[in-house]
Amino acid sequence: MAQVSKALCIISMKVIFKKKLKDQAPNMSVGSEYEVIGIEGDSYRIVCDEGEPYLYEPEQFEVTDSTQPEFWIKEYGEDGELYAYPVAWFHNYFFERYFDNESGVVNSFWKEYERLYKIAKNA
């Protein structure tokens, strides 16, 4: 009897970059598809072409897959804005600490990113 292996498939939110905003750095390619790795105050956290996890406004994108990963935890702010991230990035001002180059935070981000999204990127 042949063995059947089941591949792990992570569903993730995907968007196509449509437009740059005035004075925005040229770190995204119009027409390219990107994976949303989190949502902060309704803005999308995406690893840009320069390899940094920046926030972008939703109106800059066309959503091609709106499925949010099951491993995201979600909360809503006072005005109904969505905050959704993997648990490791959700609290303690994680991305502020990332961009402040706090010891260990950058490495922690990339380890978790590879663990959570590598399969989705190659799917």
pTM score, whole prediction: 0.85
Query: How would residue 24 be classed by pLDDT, with cut points 50, 70 and 90?
Result: confident
pLDDT at 10: 58
Query: How would residue 23 be classed by pLDDT, with cut points 50, 70 and 90?
Result: confident
Give CA separation, 70 vs 56, 73, 75, 79, 84, in Å.
Answer: 22, 8, 14, 24, 11
pLDDT at 4 over 50: no
Instruction: Encode pLDDT of 29-72 as tens digits.
Output: 999 999 999 999 999 999 999 999 999 999 999 999 999 999 99
3-state secondary structure at position 20: coil
